[in-house]
Amino acid sequence: MEALARMRSLIRRTVSGSVRAVLALVVGALVAVSCSGEARPGEPYAEDFERAQKQAVSDFEKQVLADRKITRTEYDEAVRQYVSCMKARGLGLEAVDSGYGYYTYVETPTSPNHDAAHVVCRRGTTFLIETLYTGIVTNPNNVDVDDLRAACFVRKGLAPKGYSGESSKADGRRGYEGAPFDREDPRFQQCLANPSR
């Protein structure tokens, strides 16, 4: 499932002191937080919904995915179930609105049991739903991530005109080391989190 694989590849975990933040760095066009993530047959995410429906393991997932759209309310419920599951396993996890239409997670204190609990708790709650929702909300046309980032870097004045998706891909492989802009610039972080903004 190409779109899902791309989204998972953009999940980063950051550990700072006793706080672990799981920041989903997603890409695409900005859609208001109140909008629904929706895809219909023939639309960019139609195949992803079809595959997700086959992979669904919980009644909740099956119900949410049945109509090939995910509302903000359904996404919120998936996140609530995931956080509740993590807390039931003794992890102090909180979902925080990222400001880009999806949540990030903060765990305090950090726990060596995080990864195992994360795998168990996402299954049937956020594993399919969150990936699809954030993909649709931030990249509704399901286009190439590197092209979106490159356009954002140019638009924000970080990179020169002519900086392409191929340039972004090559720079990204090096962690943007040696890219024609400062990786500490807040605009760079914004383009990673939502390159259409």
- Measure Cα distances from 94 to 21, 59, 79, 110, 169 in Å: 9, 24, 10, 12, 32
Of 191 and 14, the structure prediction assigns the larger pLDDT to 191
For residue 6, pLDDT beyond 90: no
Of 119 and 15, the structure prediction assigns the larger pLDDT to 119
Of 175 and 5, the structure prediction assigns the larger pLDDT to 175
Stretch among 29-33, 68-72, 106-110 having the lowest mean pLDDT = 29-33
- Distance between CA 82 and CA 123 in Å, rounded? 9
- Distance between CA 88 and CA 6 in Å, rounded? 30
Token pair of 136, please? Answer: 């649709």
| Inter-residue contact 131 to 94 (CB < 8 Å) | no
| CB atoms inside a 10 Å sphere around CB 96 | 11
- CB-based contacts of 75, cutoff 8 Å, min separation 6: 37, 102, 129, 130, 133
Of 23 and 106, the structure prediction assigns the larger pLDDT to 106
pTM for this structure?
Answer: 0.73
In this prediction, residue 30 has a pLDDT band, given cuts at 50, 70 and 90, of: very low
Q: What is the pLDDT of residue 42?
A: 56
Of 196 and 161, the structure prediction assigns the larger pLDDT to 161
In the block, tokens 């994360």 appear at 118
